[in-house]
């Protein structure tokens, strides 16, 4: 069992010297935690390059070595695209298009290319909801494709795939039959499917893998609460009921606990996943506290002994990780959709206007280390999450991809 867990952790790039590879949505841990040199200041003059993408999207950039991967789609979603670019120049190395003639509904704040790609340096996987999940080698040769269903609903999809050992894990929540699916990464064959509650509002949250005292678990937020699954077989282990639904934010695992917020207004809550079995709402909830700032927040982030949550309207709350005590509440200017980044004891959050705030968490008050405006135009919308790669920061608006170097 220990050997299996070790191999799975290696596949995630956790604590293995692979910090230079931001290989999935929110990096190797799936929680936006970066190591090494991450700039804290940049401006319009810091733009090393920017490229126009062949369509629009909200996925974040990922990389392996010199290759950068990002997705885009035509405005009506008839064509979905996976791009491989040179991370130093932004030049396209290869492009693969996927046509889709399925009718899909889409929320105005979502896109046809919201899930981010994932790579392990040997293959890259892109998920496009009803347009399927597709796997390519690093040179762009297609290895397999899999139809995962229609994904009915008015909101569209957003959950990014997770590579875990030999598995590709995909959240397939929809307003209809919902499930968590594991595919063989080499063949695309379904390894297991675990049923989830039908008719949630949508499949937005991306699964993370966490190491617990009982072994490796997959943790996934959802409309009705957070759940933990056995990483190898997909068996549901535990469930903790949420306070108000719309489970879009990705949970954060730190201090042996899982920190969870909902998309709707409701309490932030913390689950102890160690030894958790069945409905643990009353037994394993370490604490819960009032959440401030309204609906649809980006994912929570733990920085040292602080939990930070920024709501869509900019209201940011700092909690104590052990007790849930609210240290302070303040507001950042702008609207926020992308999830935060944690690096070197700092909290990074990018607004829809392309302005990134870097905060230093503390018990007393909001401390802004820097306010970084990359100089986007008024019609650009930034809903992707920052990707720190090799001392630079990559981000995107709906139609442009940026590479930023640090200042000072």
Residue 154 belongs to a domain with what CATH number? Answer: 2.130.10.10
Tokens representing 371? 């306010």
pLDDT on residue 1: 45
pLDDT given for residue 248 in this prediction? 84
Q: pLDDT tens digit string along 251-285?
A: 999 999 999 998 777 789 999 999 999 999 999 99
For the four alpha carbons of 42, 45, 47 and 51, in that order, the dihedral sign comes to: positive
pLDDT at position 125 is 98
pLDDT tens over the chain, length 408 residues:
444 444 444 444 443 334 579 999 999 999 999 998 899 999 999 999 999 999 999 999 999 999 999 999 998 888 999 999 999 999 999 999 999 887 777 777 778 899 999 999 999 999 999 999 999 999 999 999 999 998 877 778 899 999 999 999 999 988 878 999 999 999 999 999 999 987 666 668 999 999 999 999 999 999 889 999 999 999 999 999 998 877 789 999 999 999 999 877 778 999 999 999 999 999 999 999 988 777 777 899 999 999 999 999 999 999 999 999 999 999 999 999 999 999 999 999 999 999 999 999 999 999 999 999 999 999 999 999 999 999 999 999 999 999 999 996
For the chain, the distance separating the N- and C-terminal CA atoms, rounded to the nearest angstrom, is 47
- The count of structural domains within the chain is 1
Per-residue confidence (pLDDT) for residue 203, from 0 to 100: 61
- pLDDT value of position 17: 37
Q: In this predicted structure, what is the pLDDT of residue 201?
A: 64
pLDDT of residue 199: 65
pLDDT at residue 5, rounded to an integer: 43
Six token digits for residue 147: 């139809």
Provide the residue range defining the domain that includes 202: 2-405
pLDDT confidence of residue 200: 62
Q: What b/e sequence results for 245-270 when a residue is b if at least 16 CB atoms lie within 10 Å of its CB, and e otherwise? A: bbbbbbbbbbeebbbbbbbbbbbbbb
What is the distance between the alpha carbons of residues 155 and 130, in angstroms, rounded to a whole number? 13
Asked if 101 and 92 count as a contact pair (C-beta separation under 8 A), the reply is no
Q: Are 229 and 190 in contact (CB under 8 A)?
A: no
- pLDDT of amino acid 148: 95
Q: What is the pTM of this model?
A: 0.94
Q: Phi and psi (nearest 5°) for 44?
A: -60, -35
Secondary structure letter of residue 129 according to DSSP: G
Q: In which element (H, E) is residue 12 found?
A: helix 2-12
pLDDT at 16: 37
pLDDT at 243: 87
Give the number of other Cβ atoms within 10 Å of residue 211's Cβ: 17
> What pLDDT score was predicted for residue 3?
42
Q: Give the pLDDT of residue 130.
A: 92
The pairing of beta strand 278-279 with beta strand 236-241: parallel
């Amino acid at each position: 069992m220990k050997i299996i867990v070790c191999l799975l952790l290696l596949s995630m790039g956790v604590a293995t010297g692979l910090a230079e590879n931001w290989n999935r949505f929110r990096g190797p841990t799936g929680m936006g935690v970066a190591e090494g040199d991450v700039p804290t200041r940049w401006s319009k003059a810091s733009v090393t390059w920017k490229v126009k993408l062949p369509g629009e999207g909200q996925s974040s950039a990922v990389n392996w070595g010199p290759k950068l991967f990002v997705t885009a789609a035509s405005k009506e979603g008839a064509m979905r695209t996976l791009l491989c670019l040179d991370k130093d120049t932004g030049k396209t190395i290869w492009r693969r298009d996927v046509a889709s003639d399925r009718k899909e509904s889409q929320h105005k704040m979502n896109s046809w290319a919201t899930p981010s790609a994932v790579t392990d340096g040997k293959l890259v996987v892109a998920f496009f909801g009803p347009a399927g999940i597709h796997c390519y080698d690093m040179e762009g040769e297609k290895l397999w494709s899999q139809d995962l269903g229609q994904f009915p609903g008015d909101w569209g999809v957003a959950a990014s795939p997770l590579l875990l050992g030999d598995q590709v894990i995909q959240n397939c929540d929809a307003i209809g039959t919902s499930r968590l699916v594991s595919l063989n990464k080499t063949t695309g064959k379904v390894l297991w499917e675990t049923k989830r509650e039908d008719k949630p509002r949508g499949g937005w949250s991306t699964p993370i893998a966490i190491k617990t005292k009982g072994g490796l678990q997959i943790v996934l937020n959802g409309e009705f609460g957070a759940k933990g699954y056995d990483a190898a077989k997909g068996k549901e282990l535990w469930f903790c009921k949420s306070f108000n639904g719309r489970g879009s934010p990705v949970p954060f695992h730190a201090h042996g606990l899982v920190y969870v917020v909902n998309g709707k207004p409701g309490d932030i809550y913390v689950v102890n996943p160690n030894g958790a079995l069945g409905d643990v709402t009353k037994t394993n909830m370490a604490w819960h506290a009032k959440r401030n700032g309204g609906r649809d927040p980006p994912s929570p982030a733990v920085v040292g002994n602080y939990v930070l949550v920024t709501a869509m309207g900019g209201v940011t709350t700092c909690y104590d990780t052990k007790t849930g005590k609210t240290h302070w509440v303040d507001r950042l200017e702008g609207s926020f959709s992308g999830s935060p980044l944690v690096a070197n004891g700092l909290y990074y959050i990018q607004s829809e206007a392309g302005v990134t705030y870097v905060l230093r968490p503390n018990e007393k008050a909001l401390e802004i280390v820097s306010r970084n405006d990359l100089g986007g135009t008024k019609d650009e919308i930034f809903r992707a999450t920052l990707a720190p790669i090799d001392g630079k920061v990559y981000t995107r608006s709906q139609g442009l991809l940026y590479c930023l170097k640090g200042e000072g």
